[in-house]
Amino acid sequence: MSTSMYDEVLPRGERDGFGLRVGAIIDRGGEVLLLEVNSTGPIRLTHKLPGATVGPGESVAAALVRGVREETGLTVTGIRHHVGDFDYLSPAGKPVRRLHFAVEVKATGPILLSAHAGYLWVSLDRELRVTPSIRGILTAYKDLAATE
C-alpha cells in the first residue's frame, strides 16, 4: 500500500475537522507491543499501542515515527500497512480520529519507556486488556497478517 497520502503536512494537525492521533502496531514474531498506562488508582487500566498526536505542521507519517521513538525508543524504518481507524471524543469533547499502521522497526529492543509503567509483547490469540476499539484494530491486523 502507498503511504504517500500520510506524508502530507497538516497545517493544524487535523483533517476533516478531526484532530489526528496515530497508533503503531509493532510485531515481533507474532507478538505485538502494548504499553502499560501509569495508574495511581484502584482501577486496572487497559494497555495501549504506541503512538502520538499529529502536531501542527507535521505529517501523519512523521508523527508515527516520532511517537514510536518517544514512547518506546524504537526506530521506525518503514510503514507496512494502514490497518484501520476509529473516531472518539477527547476528554475536552473534541472529535479525534486515530489512524493505525503496522510498522517495521530497526530492532525490537531495547524498549526505553518515557511515559508508561511498562510494556509487554502479547500474542493476538489471547485475551487482551485493551479497549474495544483497539481490539478491533488488532483483529483487523491479525486478519491482514494471515493473508501475507
Domain locations along the chain: 4-146
- Reported as a pLDDT band with limits 50, 70 and 90, residue 27 is very high
pLDDT at residue 119 is higher than 80: yes
CATH placement of domain 4-146 = 3.90.79.10
Q: Considering only CA atoms, which of 76, 61, 86, 52 is closest in space to residue 4?
A: 61
> Tell me, what's the pLDDT at 41?
63
Give the Cβ contact number of residue 66 at 10 Å.
18
**SS3 (DSSP) at 143:** helix
* 146, pLDDT greater than 90: no
* pLDDT for residue 1: 40
- In degrees, rounded to 5, the angle at the alpha carbon of residue 53 between the alpha carbons of residues 51 and 59 is 100
Q: Mean of the pLDDT values across residues 120-136? A: 93
106 Ramachandran zone, left/alpha/beta (phi>0; psi -120 to 50): alpha
The predicted-structure confidence for 33-87, as pLDDT tens digits, reads as follows 999 987 666 666 789 999 999 998 899 999 999 999 999 999 999 999 999 999 9
pLDDT at 121: 97
Residue 32 is classified by DSSP as E
pLDDT the model gives residue 18: 86
| pLDDT for position 2 | 46
What is the predicted pLDDT for the residue at 107?
97
Distance between CA atoms of 72 and 33, rounded to whole angstroms? 10
